[in-house]
Each structure stands twice: as structure tokens, then as C-alpha cells.
Amino acid sequence: MSKLVDRYGRVAKKLRLSVTDRCNFRCNFCMPKEPVWIPRDEVLSFEELARVVKILASMGVSRVRLTGGEPLVRRGVEKLVKAIASIPGIEEITMTTNGFHLKSFANALAEAGLRGVTVSLHSLKPERFEEIVGVRGVFDKVVEGIAAARDVGLRVKINAVVVKGCNDDELFDFAELSRRTGITVKFIEFMPFDGERLWNIERVVRASEILEILSTRYQLYPKPREHGSTTRYYGFKDSQVGEIGLVSSISEPFCSDCDRVRVKADGKLVPCMFSRDEYDLKPLLRSGAPDEEISEFIKWAFSRKFRGVETLLKTGELPQHIRPMHTLGG
């Protein structure tokens, strides 16, 4: 098997596959007020998406995370999960979801082979949550979705994007939730990919600050960082139950061992989310090109992967607003 490797020697193992750019929520750090959707005929079919995964799996990609937009608004997505689960070389499929439709789909997703879900829950205060996601009356549905996913045996984590002055007063509440339920809570640094271009470095709460705040109440210990992970996990010294994850995409992005590749719903391969470079697989997929030709193109595209933002961070030249997050999937 020839691996998918870039010119800095980084090898792709994980795929973030965006199955749609559409969403039933309007999170203020993600969607523009007037989103421009990918035209329907440009969105890859399930067959095309599964073929891309098969080709990537033949080059060593073994873990797939479905994302969006909101993956559960794409009708029949559990069929895609099943198709991907049967691809040789794929060891794990997970999903990042806003959780609204999770209660209805949890069972079908688990049966189709999904291993886990990460549910985005940015506040434990219903009103504030609904303000952030731009839709009223949805908090309870998301919480019910989390419970349903646990009931069917899916591994469940929570993502909370922390924005200064918005929800950074809830860190202890989230930590208590984790200690009570055992659900891992991941705090994500606000990234400059919001649709309304409101991002500002002043609104980022750095992972190190979050750790400092939590350490005033808890004795936390770091767990070993998995190769390629942007998340540092911490356990509580006084409790076996609960885990905190800190996603330091801005303050410490770990570009040097990044092992991810992304594919958007329109078939554009994105080797690095901090770069504008995209490589369109759709013309090849739709012109009858054989797998070998597509995999050669992918290898060429991935070899050109952007070095990353670690050095740029030191000079304060962080790339911003490249594409709104709902078009890529995080």
C-alpha cells in the first residue's frame, strides 16, 4: 500500500468528510447570515463519497469522521455510514453533529456501524444556547439526543466552542457535567472561520487559560497526547469519572504531526484547513476516471499540503476567514 504523505513527511490517517454544507442551526461563530449553499447537483452522491473513502482507505486512511454542515440533515446518511463501515481498512467511523436529530437517528446510526458521536453543546443554559445557535426551542432536543446516543451504546463526547464574554463563565458547569456523567467535554478555541467575519483574537479563550481556570478548582492530570491529535485530554485526580479535552487549534495547533485530510461535500479535497488550497475530485469522479487515476491525483494534491500555521502564529499572521466553517466541517 502506498501511503498518503506530504512533502514534510506527514502521513494522512484520518478523514473529515463533510456530507453537506446545509444546516438547521445558525451558530453565530460558523454560519453567515445569508449562506451561499453548494448547488445540489454539485454535492457528491453517497456512491461518490463512499468511493472517495475507499480510495483513501487504500492509501492508509483508517478513521472517518462525518461532519457538515449538519450531517443528520442529509437524508439517509445512515446508509452512507453502513457503506463506509464495509470498506476494507476503515477501522472507525464517528460523527460530529448538532444533536437535534440524534434522538431519531441514534439507533440506526449505531446499527449501521457508527462508533461515536461528538455533539456540539456550547452552553448549558437553554436560552444562551439557543441564542448561540440561532434557533429557539432546540436545547431539550439536543440534550435528549445525547441521552439517546448513550442509550444505544455510542461513545459520546461534547464539543463546546468557547468565546470570551459569551460562554466562558460556564467552564466549571461543563466540568461538573463531565464528572457527573462521564461524558468527555472538549473545549474548542474559537477559530477565524465564522461566516460573519466577527472573529477577533480578543474573543479567543486559549486552552492554557481554560486549564488555568479549571485548575483553581480541580487537580487535573494530562493524559498522553495521541499522535496527530489537536486535543489534549485531562483527567481529574480525585475521580475516575470525567475527562476534559482542550482543542488548541489557535494557540498550539500541532501542525507538525497533523494526520488529517478533509473532503468537502462538493468533492474538494482540503489538505489543511488554514490554507485556501482545494483540489476538486468531482471532475475525475464524474468523468469515469479509474481509481488509480484518482488516487494519483489525491497523492499529488496531498503532497502539496501547507506546512501549517505554527510558524505564522509566532509572527501574528494567522490566516483568517478562508471559508466559513459550515462548508468544511471543523
10 or 122: whose CB is closer to ligand SF4? Answer: 122
218 or 233: whose CB is closer to ligand SAM? Answer: 233
Residue 159 binding target from ligand SF4, ligand SAM, none, CB below 5 to 8 Å by type = ligand SAM
Looking at the DSSP assignment, which residues form a beta bridge with residue 95? 66, 117
* CA–CA separation, 278 and 242 (whole Å): 38
3-state secondary structure of 112: helix
CB 304 within 8 A of CB 7: yes
98 or 248: whose CB is closer to ligand SAM? Answer: 98
Tell me: does residue 188 bind ligand SF4 (CB under 6 A).
no
* CA–CA separation, 140 and 162 (whole Å): 21
In whole angstroms, the minimum distance from the beta carbon of 245 to ligand SAM comes to 12
Q: How many residues bind ligand SF4 (CB under 6 A)?
A: 14
In whole angstroms, the minimum distance from the beta carbon of 296 to ligand SAM comes to 30
Residue 327 binding target from ligand SF4, ligand SAM, none, CB below 5 to 8 Å by type = none
59-97: b or e for each residue (b if 16 or more CB lie within 10 Å)? Answer: bbbebbbbbbbbbbbbeebbebbbbbbebeebeebbbbb
* Region 125-184 residues binding ligand SF4, contact defined as CB under 6 A: 133
CB 69 within 8 A of CB 18: yes
Residue nearest to ligand SAM according to CB distances in the complex: 330
Binding site for ligand SAM (CB under 6 A): 23, 29-30, 67-68, 70, 96-98, 120, 159, 161, 188, 190-191, 193-194, 325-326, 329-330
Q: Which residue in the set 57, 69, 207, 264 belongs to the binding site for ligand SF4 (CB under 6 A)?
A: 69
Among 80, 20, 10, 90, smallest CA distance to 54 is for 90
Residue 105 binding target from ligand SF4, ligand SAM, none, CB below 5 to 8 Å by type = none
161 or 166: whose CB is closer to ligand SAM? Answer: 161
Phi and psi torsions of 244, nearest 5°: -115, 140
- Which spans in 192-319 are helix H? 207-215, 282-285, 291-303, 310-315
Q: Beta strands of 174-237 (E only): which ranges?
A: 184-189, 220-222, 231-236
* Region 78-117 residues binding ligand SF4, contact defined as CB under 6 A: 98
196 or 277: whose CB is closer to ligand SAM? Answer: 196
Q: Which residue in the set 70, 78, 194, 259 belongs to the binding site for ligand SF4 (CB under 6 A)?
A: 70
3-state secondary structure of 247: strand
CB 48 within 8 A of CB 76: no
> Amino acid letter at 69?
G
Tell me: does residue 23 bind ligand SF4 (CB under 6 A).
yes
In whole angstroms, the minimum distance from the beta carbon of 133 to ligand SAM comes to 8
Cell numbers for 248: 488548541
- Contacts with ligand SF4, residue ranges (CB under 6 A): 23, 25-27, 30-31, 68-70, 98, 120, 133, 325-326
